[in-house]
Amino acid sequence: MPRVLLLIPSATYRAHDFVAAAAALELELVVASDRRPALSALLGDRALTLPLRRPAEAVERIEELHARAPLDAVVAVDDQGVRVAALAAERLGLCGNPPQAAERTRDKGAMRAALEAAGVPQPAYRLAGATDDVAAFALEVGLPCVVKPLALSASRGVIRADSPAGAAGVAERVRAILAEAGEPADAALLVERYLPGEEVAIEGLLRGGRLELLALFDKPDPLEGPYFEETLFVTPSRHPAGLQEELCVAAGRAAAALGLTEGPVHAELRTDGERVWVLELAARSIGGLCSRALRFGVGATLEELILRHALGLELGDVTRERPAAGVMMLPIPHAGVLERVGGQEEARAVEGIEDLVISVAPGRPVRSLPEGDRYLGFLFARAETPELVERALREAHGRLEVAIGAPRARSPAASVGADVLSSTGGTPRRAQ
pLDDT in tens, 284-324: 999 999 999 999 998 999 999 999 999 999 998 999 998 99
What is the CB-side half-sphere exposure of residue 249 using CA atoms within 13 A? 10
The last residue of a domain, from among 104, 137, 164: 104
Instruction: Read off the pLDDT band of 420 (50, 70, 90).
Output: very low
Task: Report the percent of the chain where pLDDT is more than 70.
Answer: 92
Domain harbouring 420, CATH code: 3.30.470.20
List, in sequence order, every beta strand (DSSP E) within 143-275.
Answer: 145-149, 159-161, 189-193, 198-207, 210-218, 232-235, 263-271
The answer to whether residue 242 is domain-embedded is no
**Mean pLDDT score across all residues of the chain:** 91
The residues with which 149 forms a beta bridge, in sequence order, are: 189
At 384, give phi and psi (nearest 5°). Answer: -70, -30
* Element counts in the chain: helices (H) and strands (E): 12, 19
The residues with which 3 forms a beta bridge, in sequence order, are: 28
Task: Assign residue 363 a region (left: φ > 0; alpha: ψ between -120 and 50; beta: otherwise).
Answer: left
Average pLDDT for 92-99: 98
Helix ranges (H only) for 342-383 are 344-348
Tell me which H or E stretch contains 45.
none
* Residues 45 and 136 placed together within one structural domain of the fold: no
> Which residues contact residue 407 at a Cβ distance below 8 angstroms, ignoring those fewer than 6 apart?
335, 336, 337, 365
* Residues 334 and 421 placed together within one structural domain of the fold: yes
Average pLDDT for 181-209: 96
The answer to whether residue 256 is domain-embedded is no
Question: What residues make up the domain containing 36?
Answer: 3-104
* Residues 18 and 47 placed together within one structural domain of the fold: yes
The last residue of a domain, from among 160, 193, 226: 193
* Pairing of the two strands 47-49 and 145-149: unpaired
* Residues 67 and 155 placed together within one structural domain of the fold: no
Nearest to 49 by CA among 92, 89, 82, 10: 10
* Residues 71 and 159 placed together within one structural domain of the fold: no
Residue 424 has pLDDT above 70, yes or no: no
The answer to whether residue 383 is domain-embedded is yes
> Which residues contact residue 9 at a Cβ distance below 8 angstroms, ignoring those fewer than 6 apart?
33, 34, 52, 77, 78, 80, 81
Average pLDDT for 111-134: 97
Helix ranges (H only) for 50-122 are 55-68, 82-92, 99-105, 108-117
Residue 49 has pLDDT above 80, yes or no: yes
The answer to whether residue 186 is domain-embedded is yes
* Residues 349 and 379 placed together within one structural domain of the fold: yes
Query: d(Cα 51, Cα 384) in Å, to the nearest integer?
Result: 45
Is there a cis peptide before residue 37, judged by omega within 30 degrees of 0? no
The answer to whether residue 373 is domain-embedded is yes
Average pLDDT for 121-150: 97
The answer to whether residue 68 is domain-embedded is yes
**Model pTM?**
0.91
Domain harbouring 33, CATH code: 3.40.50.20
The residues with which 192 forms a beta bridge, in sequence order, are: 125, 146
The residues with which 405 forms a beta bridge, in sequence order, are: 337
Contact 285, 302 (CB under 8 A): yes
pLDDT at 12: 81
pLDDT at 42: 58
Number of folded domains that form the chain: 3
- Give me the helix-helix angle, 164-180 and 134-141, nearest 10°: 120
From the CB of residue 173, how many other CB atoms can be counted at a distance below 10 Å? Answer: 14
From the CB of residue 209, how many other CB atoms can be counted at a distance below 10 Å? Answer: 12
